[in-house]
Each structure stands twice: as C-alpha cells, then as structure tokens.
Amino acid sequence: MSATTAGWLQFALLVVALVAVYRPLGDWMARVFTSPAHWRAERLVYRAVGVDADAEQRWPVYLRSVLALSAVGVLLLYGLQRLQSLLPLDNGMAAVEPGSAWNTAVSFVTNTNWQGYVGESTMGNLVQMAGLAVQNFLSAAVGIAVAIALVRGFARVGTDRLGNAWVDVTRAVVRLLLPLAVVTTVVFVLAGIVQTLKAGTDVSTLAGGSQYLPTGPVASQEAIKEIGTNGGGFYNANSAHPFEDPSAWISLLQVFLMLMIPFSLPRTFGRMVGNTKQGLAIVGVMASLYAIGVGLLTLFQARAGGAATALAGAATEGQEVRFGGPLSALFGASTTLTSTGSVNSLHDSYTPLGGAVTLFNMMLGEVAPGGVGSGLYGMLMLAVIAVFVAGLMVGRTPEYLGKKLGRREMTLASLYILTTPAIVLVGTAVAIGTSAGRAGMLNDGPHGLSEVLYAFTSAGNNNGSAFAGLSANTDFYNIALGLAMAFGRFLPIVLVLALAGRLAQQGRTPVTAGTFPTHRPLFAGLLTAVVLVVVGLTYFPVLALGPFAEGLS
Amino acid sequence: MTTLTPPAPAPARPPATPGTRSLLTADQLGPALAGAFRKLDPRGLVKQPVIFVVWVGSVFSTVLAVADPSVFGWLIAIWLWLTVLFANVAEAVAEGRGKAQAATLRKAKTTTQAVLEDGSEVSAATLVPGMRCVVVAGQVIPGDGDVVEGIASVDESAITGESAPVIRESGGDRSAVTGGTTVLSDRIVVEITSKPGETFIDRMIALVEGASRQKTPNEVALNILLSSLTIVFLLAVVTLQPFAVYSGAEQSMTVLIALVVCLIPTTIGALLSAIGIAGMDRLVQRNVLAMSGRAVEAAGDVGTLLLDKTGTITLGNRQASEFVAVGGCSDAELADAAQLASLADETPEGRSIVVLAKTAYGLRERTDLPGAVFVPFTAQTRMSGVDLPDGRQLRKGAAGACTTWVRTQGGEVTAEVGDAVDSISASGGTPLVLAVAGPDGARVLGVIHLKDVVKEGMRERFDELRRMGIRTVMITGDNERTARAIAAEAGVDDVLAEATPEDKLALIAREQEGGRLVAMTGDGTNDAPALAQADVGVAMNTGTSAAKEAGNMVDLDSNPTKLIEIVEIGKQLLITRGSLTTFSIANDLAKYFAIIPAMFAGVFPGLDKLNVMQLHSPESAILSAVVFNALIIVALVPLALRGVKYTPGSASAMLQRNLLVYGVGGVVLPFVGIKLIDLLVSLIPGIA
C-alpha cells in the first residue's frame, strides 16, 4: 500500500470514528453538566474544597473560582518543581531552575504544555504524576467548564447565574476525563507504551554499546495528554518517541483522542441550547477549517521541491519515518488545530509553506476544533462577530440564539478577537527587537523569524507545540512565553465569562422569518470566512516576512 | 356656536416628494465642502476613531514630507488628507440636506407676540405650559398646545408641507395645534403645553439639522467593532517594523502609515455617521419625524405591528357590496329602490349604494327627482329614505329600526329577512334593510350588504411583512366575528376585537414579554399609554398632543399605513451599515496584495509572486492603494445617503444577496480599481 493510500485510509478512519462519537459523547457531556445529581466521589471533593455544590454562581464568582483554582495550580506546580529533590520519587532529578519552573507551571495550568525543558532528564515521577498530570486534568476541565458556562449564557434566560465552577470542573474530571483516561491508558499499555515507576534501564545496544533508557508512568500521562488537548510529553521527543507512540495505529489513535472532545462539544452546545442543528453548524465550520488545514499541510509536505523529496515521495526531514508523510501531516495539523501541541514529527523541519500552515492553524485562535472547551468558546466568540455583521446585513439588531448583540456584547467579543493577536504580535516584536530575544535564535533570515513567531503563537494560543530551532529555555523566553501563555489563557476567559453573564441575563427574542438562521450552510460559510479573514488580515504581514518569504523564494 | 368660514388659500411650500430630491445639488456642495474643512478639527474627529487615526497619519506624513520632500511622500500626505476630507464631506452632505429643511422651519418661528385671554400681549418666548392664548384668523399660533375653545381651519404647511388646511377644534382627537402654524379662519383659544425652546418646531429643527443626533445602539456596537479592528491593524503594522528591520527591509514611516490607513476600515468609518443622518433624513422626506435615532433602529427590529382596522387596513367607510332581495322582490326592483332611497344620502355608504346599483345592475344615475321628499338619517329613527310623489315611502336603515317601521306601517316581516340579516352579519358585513310602505302596504324589499372594504394591495403588504418575520395584529372595536372575517380577507395574522385602550396596552406588554418589539400608530389621547409602551409609537400629526408626546415618531401626513415604510427604512439603515462594513473589510485583501510585495519584494524577490496585479513599482502600488482607499469613500457617498437597496424578503435571501454584492464584490473590486489607478499613477514623474 502506498503512503498516499494509507494516508487517505487513515483520514477516512479518523473521520468515521469522530462522526461515530459525536452524538454519544456530545450528549453525555450535556448530561454531565445538566444533571442535578452529584456522585459520591464528587461530594467528597466538594466537602474537601468547602463549596456548596448546589449554589450557582454569578459570572464574577465563577471567574474568581476558575482563576483561584488556576493560581493555586501554578503555585503548587512551581513548588513541586523547585522542591523536587527534597521530595520522594524524584528519580534523582535536581530542583528545576526558577525561570523554567515558572514557565512550566504556567504552561501546564493554561493547557498550553509548552515544554522548555527536557522531560526525561528534568522531571521526576512525583512532578510528572502529582504535578503535570494533575494539571493536565484540571486545565482541560477548566476549559470545558468555561465553555459550558458560555453555553449556559446562551441557553438561559433572565438569570445572573452561570452554574458552579467547582461542580463543573469536578464533573469534567470525574465523569469525563478520568474514565476516558483510564480506558485509554489500558489500551496504551497493551499497545506497548511504557508504564512503570522505574526511572530507567541500562540496555546493551545491538552495536555492542550500552544505553540508558529513561522510563516512567508514560502511558497514563500520554492518555490525558491527548484527551485533554494538553500535549506535554513525558519525553522531550513527545509522540515521536517510540515509548510514547509505538506504532502508526497508536499515532492515529492519539490524533483521534485529541480531536474527540473538541469535535463533540458542539453537540453538547446544541443539546444545551435546545437545537442540535446549531451544534452541527459550529462543528461544520470546525470540520471545514480542519479539513483545509490537514489538506494544505499534506499537500505542501508532499509537493516540496527537490530531487530527494521527489524520490522519497514527500519531504521527509524531521518526519517520523515509521509513520510516513501523511500521518505526520495529519498529526501535525491536528495538534496545531486543537491546541494540543504534542508532535510526532518536527514542525521546524516541515517545508516553509507546510510550517506556515501549522502556524496559521494556531493563529486561527485554536477553534478548529481547538482545545477542549477553549475551542468551543473561541468559535462561539467568533460566531458572535459573524452574527453581528450578518445581522446588520439583514436589517435587524443582530441576535444569536435569540440573544441580542448590543454594545456590551460587542465590546467583549471585539476585545476577545483583539487579545490573542496583540499577545502574539507584541511578544514576537519584542523578541525580535531585543538582543535577549535574538540570542535564543538558532537560525537567521525568514526561518529564524518563523521560529520566534511560532513560539509566541504557540504560547499565546495555548498550543504548546514548538518549532524548535529556538533555545527557549532562557530567562527571557521562560518569562515572556510564560506571560504570553497566562494572558493568552485568562484574558479570553475573563471576556468569555463576562459575555456569558451578560447573555444569561437577557430574555430571548423569538425566531421569525426575519431572524437570520444560524444553523444553515450560509452561516457556516460566513463564519468560516470570518475566521479566515480576521486571522488572515491580522497576520498576513508577519507571515509574509517569515514563511512566505522563505517558501516563495 | 362657531360657524366656519371658508379658509383663504394659503401660500405654502411645495410638499416634500420623497425620492425625487437629487442626492447632491451644486448649491449644496459649497457649504458641504466648507463644512468638511471645518470638521478637520481633531476635537470633533476623536468621536470617529477610524477617521481620527487617518487624521493622525495625515499629520505625521505631512511632517515627514516637509522634513524629507519627495514626490511620493507628498502625494501620500495629500491623499491621506483627502481621505479625511472625503469622510467629512460625506457627513457634511448628509447634514446639509437637513439644514435646508431647518431653515424653512426657522421661518415659521417668526412669531414673537402672543395674546393672552385677558387681552395682554406677551412674548411668545415666555409662554409656559398652562397659559392660554387667543389666536384669530391670520395670526400664527405662538406655541404648541391644545384648542380648549372654538374651532378653526389651520394652515400647517409650515410643518407638513401639505397646503390644504386642516380643522382644529376643542375636545376630541383633533385638538392639538403646533406653534408656527397659521390660523386661517375663526378664533380659537389655545392652552400651551410645551416649554419655550422645547416646542415641536424646535425639536424638528434640532432633528433635521442633526444637532441632537446621538449615536444609536447598533451604531455604537459597530463603532466598537471597528475600533477593535483598527487596533488590531495598528498592532499588525506597528509590530511589522521590528520584523522588517530584522529582515533587512526597514520601512519608511510614510509607507507604514499608508499601510495602516489602507487596512483600517476607513470606508465604513467615513460613511457611518452619514448613513445614520441619511436614514433620519429619509424619514423626514416621508414626513415622519423620529424623536430619536433609537426609534428608527427599533423599527427595523419590530416583530409585531399593531394596525388599526379603520383607515389603515380598510377604507374608512363601509361600502355596499350586494343587494339581497327577499319576499319575491326582483333584483332590479330592489336595486331601483335602493338607488332611490340613497340618492340624497351623501354619506359614503349611501353613495356606494348608488354606485353599486349602477355598476352591478346597470341603473343609470338619476340626478333629480321632482316632488320627492328626502328623509335624512337621525339618531332617533336610525333610518333614512325618501317619500316619492306616487305615495311610496322608501326607508333604509338598521335591521331592527326598519322591521319595526314596517310593522307599524301594517306590514309583515318574514323569517327570510332575519336569515338574510344574520348571514350578512356572520360574514362580517353590516346589513342594511330596505323597506317600502305605500298604497300596496308595507314590506321589506331586501337587505343591502355593507362591507368593510380592505384597501387594495394590503394582502400583498401583509404577505411581505410575514416574509420579513413581522406579525400583524389588527385592532378594531368590532365584535370578534366581524373582525375575524375582515382579518381573513386582509390576511393579517391576528386580531384584537372589541379593543379597549387597556386591551391594547396588555397586548403590547404580552408581545414584549415574548421578546418582540412592537410598533403601533395612534392619535387619540386614550392611545397615549399604548404609544408610550410600544417600542415604535407613531403618533398622527392630527392627533392630540398627549398622543404626540407619548409616541417616539410623528407622522405629519397622518397616514397609518406608513408604519410599514418606517419599518423598511429602519431595516435599510442597518443593512447599509452592515453591507459597507463587509465591503470595507473585504477590500483589505487586495490592498495587502498591492502593498506587501511592494514593501518587501526588494529583499525577498519571491514575494513578488504576490504582486498578482503586476503593479508598476513599489511607490505606485502603495500610492494606488491609498488613492483607491480615498476615492472609494466618495464613490460610496451616494449609496450611503440613499441606502442599500431593500427588497422585503427572508433574512437568508437578503444576506445571500448582500454577501455576494458587498462581500465578494468587496474582494474583487479593489483588485480592478487599484490596477487601474496604478496605470495612471505610474505616469506621474517621480513615481514611475
């Protein structure tokens, strides 16, 4: 079977699997967040945290809860890393440097999982399990909770309550992420992914030498890494490492896992607002953008010039030869479109235009389908912008799902689309414009610019994948990227929850023939265009100087 | 008792004729240009963030051109100033159209003296609510108020443009008079209801001049989005310089400013306020005064339209539609009798009987009837008719009155009459019994079916409204059955029968609770609470001051059907804004393809592949984009003032059309435009 045929089959299989889980998983998530009953395990958590699980919160309280949980998470994770050598299960690792520890703490709490460190030689098992893995669960749960709060804003009428952040986060972990992660871990272990508390093994190589192979609780980390669109690998090589990703099947499964929840959340949205067609429109937009991203990346990777490339059938530098070009491109597109950031190939080695696609994927704001939760709320914010312009064009005060989009709503949505580009562009400009920033660049010319741009795009959009070619474990990048991740995560959350609160208070305008329907292909097409145009116009100049300058020469 | 003398013909300005006014006449251009220059003051421009950014860019580029003169630098500076100027012209032209109207209105405010009831004269400016003034024929009414004594014909052409005088009398729903209008006959006493400086005319002047113009909610929301986009593009360009420096392609400040101005949504930013002013102006042209822009916008959102039956849906009067003969009377005999009985009946119902006899039964109209004595309608008899020289007495009237009359004349009334009467009532009509008494005895000849006649084209209008998603509710004092029958014929969605003012208010509240915006018209004092409650309350100018005070629009023509036009104008206003926003943003794509290669192809020759328009040189490319950006504003001024074409239809169809025209068109047009401008610009020495 040729690589191309295999690629098509893999993609088809992936689509079938995603379509298959769309309804059951989406409906299950809707149940999780609307059911009035608490599970016993959850009650224990509520008692431990000291919250009244049946009391609903106004949006500022919801926000404070989310921020508090995240702040505590950053502190704990920072402390764990700094005190690693004094704690058990340190596997002999030294305390992590302050800059790196801060960067890593923010990175995992913000669901970015940017890794400025080398996992297997920096973090002991305690940090991996009690620190990083815990945040993998919590940060994913926070994203889902915020998305659910926004959905409630659309679904509810005349109330200032958005639900309870503690309940939503707890349920996301207990009823959704943990069960999925447990099952996945078992599958991974069966497939040969390492799962042990042993720090490593000395092996004799075929060549007669000896090599130390670091091991650890990889399979369990790996499961939530993909399910929660986190992306932080146990090993520095991430999913290109055979212990994290032993076969093409598992690689494809990992792609599926990172897409599963983000692609199913629109169904949850549709269920909760009482019209599953609305969810279909959103997932349609996500799927179109996703298909474009995968298609372009595969195309640019396969069509790269040069005799060597032609001979190999595709650009193979930095590719995982075990999986082939198409699966690398599929993984690369999926990981940049879901804010996961795990990689099974080296994006830095992609063709310039292929690299541009991975960049552009992230610049879309992680909405196609985006991170768990964050993808849905990001897409809904863009939908608000699209509905506003479209609504004016049909001669009415724009309304989305019966909620009028007035001055306050538009202020919040406008600030939302402004936030991430501001972080990315200013961050990159500062890095390029200062010697501290330029010091970390291993390449010059357009490629060097692409690498820095990639780093800030990845951090600002909470993706976490790295272009490499950039020595990011410096104080400058640890601090700057840490800030980019924190602002890129929490400023949008503030705006999303504020909008949710605002929407929930509104009544609902009834649907008439004069209402612009937001569940038809026309709107889906418009929203797709808005996403592409807003992003395209914002980043065109810098893309021109980076990957375009390199790719078009 | 006052007698009414025929009014003298009044000199009046020609009535406003919507649509025929040219968008921009030569005599308006001068003041508009002057206004445009005055508006260069940055203190005013700050309110339009997009244009303010262009202004700042113009100042910078001018300074740069002075410091380092070059043909390119100066041309960019000049065209940036022109961009600001064109934006100002758009606004000034829109305002100028109102100014002419305001000048006419000011002339109406010439009265300075008012005569109080005790005969003393005071300045009109000192009148306060509650004071009573006497106004006689030939005098100008000194302030807004209600007629509390007398009746007079009043020339209101100063306000309405309508030269035919109107009757104003104390009591009832026609008591309101407006300061600045002229009494043509008789004498009235007016109780002042408005404070000095806040009269109807004062408000009108402020409105048409745009002085009191406040940004409407949607305009504010759109401005926020535009500001946010402006900031995004500012960031994109400001951060571009470090990248350019790093790439060894440092850009001049002039080029960066040009790029910013081309990217930020200048087209919609420049035209936004002109669109708003023009929207209000379109209402004024149709003789509707909106007291707030908010109301105009709300009109576009209206979900439920409350329409009075009489005068709005049906013609004011019932008309004969059929003669039903009873008791062996032939149709021709009945028609003849009906005609005879109605010859002297000057009411519209009576005239319609004569017309029906002629059109349906071919009876020639008789002009005189020697020896006949006409019996007029009275409230006591509830009948009218004629006593013929041959001794026959013909009577027509309400079923009860007529049958009683027949019986008293010794005749009998068969059950057939009752059946005919009932069947007409059931169909929503009004039965009018025609009877005769004479030498042959008394009997009922037949029943005339009087019917509410639905105005022509109403069904189509309502179908149109339904497609727009607007529910129509007919309000009537008729009973439920009659109301339903007319509603079905007219095609309205719902009826409120036997409606009291309380019912109306409750209906509005109910609709609003369901999230619908409600529009209604009204003229009586008892309409005032409902007018105030409705989101769009259009008061008739003939109505009471209470109604005019309560509504947020006043229709000077007092034409209730106009509500539908108001809704369309409201929608058109929003559509124009949305379409030009889309157009403005879609334009950016071509500008990027013009400017980015021009900026960087020197260092990265590969980027010249993006120069799909094959523009002549980097300078000509950038200049062409800037020139296009400025000229497109001028080109779109007429569209902004006229409004995007609005054809009622479903939201989807409308969006599809507008997306195609302004979205896709907005992407394609600048590629062509910039290329054409580049061909010209490349001829300029110093650019080529």
Please answer whether residues B520 and B560 qualify as being in contact, where contact means their C-beta atoms are separated by less than 8 angstroms: no
Whole-angstrom distance, CA of residue A333 vs CA of residue A357: 8
Say which of B232, B467, B605 has its CB closest to residue A538: B232
Query: Mapping DSSP to helix (H, G, I), strand (E, B) and coil, where does residue A161 land?
Result: strand
Confirm whether residue B583 is marked as ligand binding. Answer: no
- Could you tell me if B606 lies within 8 Å of chain A, comparing CB atoms? yes
B234 part of contact set with chain A, CB < 8 Å:
no
Q: May I ask the CATH class of domain B288-313+455-556?
A: alpha beta
Q: Give CA–CA dist B389/B370, Å, rounded.
A: 8
Write out the residue limits of the CATH 2.70.150.10 domain(s) in chain B.
Answer: 113-199
* Secondary-structure percent of chain B, ordered helix, strand, coil, rounded to 5: 50, 15, 30
Give the lowest-confidence range in A45-54, B18-27, B663-672: B18-27
pLDDT at B410 over 90: no
Model pLDDT for residues A511-538, shown as the tens digit of each residue = 877 788 899 999 999 999 999 988 888 9
Interchain proximity A533–B586, CB inside 8 Å: yes
Token duo for residue B71: 């043909």
Query: What order do you get walking across the sheet with B132-136 strand by strand?
Result: B121-123, B113-116, B132-136, B187-192, B145-149, B176-177
Residue A547 to residue A351: CA distance in whole angstroms: 9
Is the per-residue pLDDT at B173 higher than 70? no
Residue A378: closest CA among A295, A282, A313: A282
Q: How many whole angstroms separate alpha carbon B54 and alpha carbon B60?
A: 10
Structure ipTM over 0.85, yes or no: yes
- Chain B, nearest residue to A449 by Cα: B243
> Is the confidence at residue A273, as pLDDT, over 60?
yes
The CATH architecture to which B113-199 belongs is Distorted Sandwich (2.70)
Does B214 lie at the interface with A, CB-CB under 8 angstroms?
no
* Shortest Cα distance, chain A CAs vs residue B243, angstroms: 7
Q: Is residue A148 within 8 Å of A33, Cβ to Cβ? A: yes
Most confident of A111-120, A458-467, B596-605, B669-678: B669-678
Across B593-614, b (16+ Cβ under 10 Å) vs e yields bbbbbbbbbeebebbeebbebe
Q: Which CATH class is domain B315-453?
A: alpha beta
Is a pLDDT exceeding 80 seen at residue B477? no
Q: Is A520 on the interface with B (CB under 8 A)?
A: yes
SS3 (DSSP) at B413: coil
Shortest CA gap B522–chain A (Å)? 24
A395, A445, A546: residue with CB nearest B571: A395
Say what the pLDDT of residue A41 is: 93
Q: What is the mean pLDDT of residues B174-178?
A: 80
Write the pLDDT tens digit of every residue in B209-237.
765 567 788 889 999 999 999 999 999 99
At A228-240, the pLDDT tens digits run 999 888 888 888 8
Nearest to B104 by CA among B160, B144, B145, B167: B160
Burial class (CB in 10 A: 0-12, 13-18, 19+), B404: middle
- Relative to beta strand B176-177, strand B145-149 is antiparallel
- pLDDT over 60 at A267, yes or no: yes
Average pLDDT, integer, range B384-403: 86
Q: Would you place residue A361 in the very low, low, confident or very high pLDDT band (cuts 50, 70, 90)?
A: very high
- On chain A, the residues whose CB falls within 8 A of the CB of B571 are 394-396
Task: In whole angstroms, give the CA distance from residue B11 to residue B14.
Answer: 9
Residue-level pLDDT at B17 = 41
CA-based torsion, B160, B163, B168, B173: positive or negative: negative
Q: Which of A421, A432, A516 is facing B655, going by the closest CB pair?
A: A516
CA of A140 to nearest chain B CA: how many angstroms apart? 29
CA distance A403 to A508: 6
Of A197-206, B57-66, B607-616, which gets the smallest average pLDDT? A197-206
Count of C-beta atoms within a 10 Å radius of residue B63? 12
pLDDT band at B452 (very low <50, low <70, confident <90, very high): confident
Q: Which of residues 646-675 of B touch A (CB under 8 A)?
A: 646, 650-652, 654-656, 658-659, 662-663
Residue B431, phi then psi, degrees to nearest 5: -85, 140
How many other CB atoms are there within 10 angstroms of residue A406's CB atom? 19
User: Which pairing describes strands A210-214 and A200-204: parallel, antiparallel, or unpaired?
Assistant: antiparallel
| CATH 3.40.1110.10 domain span(s) along chain B | 315-453
For the beta carbon of residue A73, count every other beta carbon within 10 angstroms: 21
Q: Does A391 touch chain B (CB under 8 A)?
A: yes
| A window 431-460, beta carbon within 8 A of B | 432-433, 438, 445-446, 448-449
A415 at B interface, C-beta within 8 A: yes
Is the CB of residue B303 less than 8 Å away from at least one CB of chain A?
A: yes
Instruction: Give the residue with greater pLDDT, B365 vs A169.
Output: A169
Instruction: Name every residue whose Cβ is closer than 8 Å to that of residue B659 and which is 6 or more positions away in sequence.
Output: A390, A393, A522, A526, B582
Interface probe with B: pick from A424, A495, A545, most Cβ of B within 10 Å: A545
Report CB contact under 8 Å: A407, B243: no
Residues A200-220 have pLDDT tens digits of: 888 888 888 888 888 888 999
Confidence bin at B2 (pLDDT 50/70/90)? very low
pLDDT value at residue B677 = 95
- Choose among A418, A536, A549: nearest Cβ to B228: A418
What's the CA gap between B183 and B140, in Å, rounded? 6
The length of chain A, given as a count of residues: 553
**Interchain contact, B604 vs A446, CB within 8 Å:** yes
Q: Which residues of A127-153 are buried (b: 16+ CB within 10 A; e: fewer)?
A: bbbebbbbbbbbbbbbbbbbbbbbbbb
The verdict on whether residue B204 carries a ligand-binding annotation is: no
Q: Could you tell me how far CA A296 lies from the centroid of its own chain?
A: 20
Q: What is the mean pLDDT of residues B338-364?
A: 82
State the average pLDDT over residues A416-422.
94
C-alpha A127/C-alpha A139 separation (Å) is 16
